[in-house]
Amino acid sequence: MMGATGTTGTAVGRRAWLSACAVAALLVCGTVVFWPALHARFYFDDHFHASMLAGSWPTPRSPLDLYHFVGDGDRAELMNRGVLPWWSSPQLRVRFLRPLSSLLLAADHRWLTGSPRAMHAHSWLWWCACVLGARGLYRRVLPARAAWIATVVFALAPCHVVALAWLANREALVSLAFGIAALTALLRWLDSGRFRDAAWATGASTLALLGGEYALSLLGYFAAIAVLRRDVAVRRRAWGFASFAAPATAYLGVRWALHCGARGAGFYVDPFNAPGVFLRAAPRRFASLLSEAWLGLDGRTLDGAPTWARISLAALLVAIVWVPLRRVFSEADTRYGANLRWLLAGAILALVPVLAVAASPRVLGASMCGFAAIVAAVLDSAWWPAAPEDRSGASEWTKYVATALGFAHLVHGPASAWSMGRQFRDVTLFFENNAERLAPSLSEFPADLVVLRGLGAAFYLPFALEARRAKPATWSILAQGAHVLVLRTGPRTLELAAPAGSSLFPSGQDQLFRSDEELFRRGDHVVAPGMRVEVLEVSAAGPRRARFTFDHDLGDGTTQYLSENTFGVAPVTLPEIGFGLPLSL
């Protein structure tokens, strides 16, 4: 007996050691896949956060409130600084309740001296926590082989790239890490009935919500478990659901009291502030996210695709995987099948809260917990069937679908993740190099800067220049588009025109500064810092032509004029009165 016990213990220890080695190998593999993302520099909101913590943001921000971007009290000053262009909604508000993630960023800037490389290493640790948490979750709800496949699919998914490359988006990893821990604790509570497990689930849920509103996606899993885990008493399921629902209710109450959320934007649509806009945007966003989750897409594949095409693709994917899913669910034993059902239902329900933001793989972290498990179940069933199967009918179709899913998530997904990370790295390095080149020409005096045509980087450039001691007095952006014609019509006036059928700035459901609910009309006037804007012509896409009347002579030497193209932001010379300046990529 002693010998048998010793042999058994040795075998268990060997399996545990091999499992630990496999997890370590997966973390190394993921680090290689995400290596370019981990070498990105500051991106977009990262420059805002650096300014807030340096005390140079127009309105003071506390370390707990770094995600307060636009509020009623500072909208005018943000427009003066160039953060908001003249076409911004007068009701624009973008403020998120993410105190834990905000505090972590503040600590990074203090203790890691704002080093992007060190801060990305911090984000990498949160990704590791998510992977290890997912591994523990899958071991609890899936057979051993399927659990490994699911862990690999989840770990290497493109949805993690943005959170690793964009420091401001780390909050997605923070919320997800605690959210997975909350789910695991919930399952322990359902199996054991120990109140300490319910307490762990409540505590982890609270921390997930303090990380950010993305944690609300986890409510889908808690709801699915409460409904579909019928092998557990109703009372215990209700207590389990409350372990997330109660903190979520408190979170939403504080969010409302602090006037957090979004208003007046197209990129962010708060269902509480604009339910109609949210519902109109939901089908397009839901179809996009569902397709990206099933196919491991990089977020650029569907760029420019109309709503009908996105919905058609999502419907086609559902039709393709319907038969394999039915086979997997019918072949699974009672407990395994129940787990697959709540995982699939939870993954779909987890998409609902993130429909409030423009569709992107970066919001898919919570949903991928469930989708990775379902993909793994299909691959396990098709590639390692319990009994020999005929190569015909549903069995043959399942193998074809499994092969496609295997390629999408084990080959294409990691390759897309690496490519996305490289793009982030290159874009951020290009931006910083552009700021380095531009700063010397602007550092002699605090000139007013007017960007005649920007593309995207121009909105964040003043804060990068500020870090290089070239802080402009004011910063204004007149247009954002691929092609703009600048006409000098008088000593203080410019007219800008976009090509026929287009607009001086982007329009559509996913625009940040103004929703499609607030349309400009011909003759509309906007008073912006240092100038007045009159809309002269409107196309279906938005204002096509506008007149800008400045408070000072354009050639008085107090203003520098810039334009952005694919080579960066650079100074330009205004044309003489009566002449034009075409600006293109």
Give the pLDDT band (50/70/90) at residue 75: confident
Contact 227, 343 (CB under 8 A): no
More confident position, 391 or 199? 199
Beginning with the edge strand found earlier in the chain, give each strand of the sheet holding 261-263 in spatial order: 68-70, 93-95, 261-263
- Where is mean pLDDT largest: 76-85, 298-307, 409-418? 409-418
Spatial CB neighbours of 162, under 8 Å, sequence gap ≥ 6: 169, 172, 360, 361, 362, 420, 424
pTM for this prediction: 0.93
- The b-or-e profile of 176-207 (16+ CB within 10 A means b, else e) is bbbbbbbbbbbbbbbeeeeeebbebbbbbbbb
Give the pLDDT band (50/70/90) at residue 388: confident
Residue closest to 561 by CA, chosen among 549, 575, 579: 575
Q: How far is CA 360 from CA 68, 268, 285, 300, in A?
A: 22, 12, 9, 9
pLDDT, tens digit, 9 for 90 and up, residues 506-525? 877 678 898 888 889 999 99
Give the pLDDT band (50/70/90) at residue 304: confident
Structure tokens at 412: 């294409």
Q: What is the pLDDT of residue 2?
A: 44
Under DSSP, the state recorded for 567 is: T
Spatial CB neighbours of 73, under 8 Å, sequence gap ≥ 6: 59
pLDDT, tens digit, 9 for 90 and up, residues 195-232? 999 999 999 999 999 999 999 999 999 999 999 998 89
More confident position, 210 or 333? 210
Task: Residue 328: count other Cβ atoms within 10 Å of its Cβ.
Answer: 24
Spatial CB neighbours of 26, under 8 Å, sequence gap ≥ 6: 131, 151, 152, 155
Residue closest to 171 by CA, chosen among 94, 106, 111: 106
Percent of the chain with pLDDT strictly greater than 70? 97
> Residue 104 is which amino acid?
L
Please tell me the least confidently modeled range out of 76-90, 183-197, 566-580: 76-90
Structure tokens at 76: 């005018």
Check pLDDT > 70 for residue 8.
no
Sign of the Cα torsion 457, 461, 462, 467 reads positive
Beta bridge pairs of residue 137: none
Check pLDDT > 60 for residue 342.
yes
Q: For the chain, how many helices (H) and strands (E)? A: 19, 13
Q: What is the pLDDT of residue 462?
A: 85
